[in-house]
Amino acid sequence: MDRYKITAKKFFGHLRTITRHRHKVMMHCFKAGIFRQGLRHDLSKYSPVEFMTGARYYQGTRSPNEAERETIGYSVAWIHHKGRNPHHFEYWTDYNLTTRQVEPVPMPKKYVVEMFCDRVAASKIYNGASYTDADSIEYYYREKSRRLHPDTAKDIELLLNMLKDKGEKETFRYIRKVYNKK
């Protein structure tokens, strides 16, 4: 259990990682024209339940939530985070009266844009100098078994593929001038 002890190195490493990520997402949100969302992005990561878990399981190369899942079978930090941050598709589920199951519902476009900004920033942080504009869509396809509403999947795939094919500048221009206006 000592490997999950919170050391100063893990505490400050996690603080530095989430702050770098948050600032990168903010810059992307500003480029996308969603300023308020950029300023509020991921503030819950600084709450005790999310921050202390992140520091405990910090490794610097992947999400600490994965290590928490491997250790206890689920992630308390993720359950807290996804319930407070509407840029995660997991937030957008509801009980369907017909099927009697919890199912994905369409995400509002402004949160799809924030999700895009979040995914691109995470790819940049975790891949570092080896980052390419294709990284975010490749990660998305590796994780596609997750359940998104078909409309949400279509929208995020459009943006991530545009990033891969046309680059950041053109994608953010499209988001500001076309996508946000829909």
Domain limits at 54? 2-181
pTM, two decimal places: 0.92
Residues ≥6 apart with Cβ < 8 Å to 18: 42, 45, 46, 51, 54
In angstroms, the CA 20 to CA 84 distance is: 20
Total number of domains in the chain: 1
Digit-by-digit pLDDT tens for the chain (182 residues) are: 577 899 999 999 999 999 999 999 999 999 999 999 999 999 999 999 999 999 999 998 888 999 999 999 999 999 999 999 999 999 999 999 999 999 999 999 999 999 999 999 999 988 889 999 999 999 999 887 678 999 999 999 999 999 999 999 999 999 999 999 98
Picking from 74, 77, 104, the residue whose alpha carbon sits closest to that of residue 92 is: 104
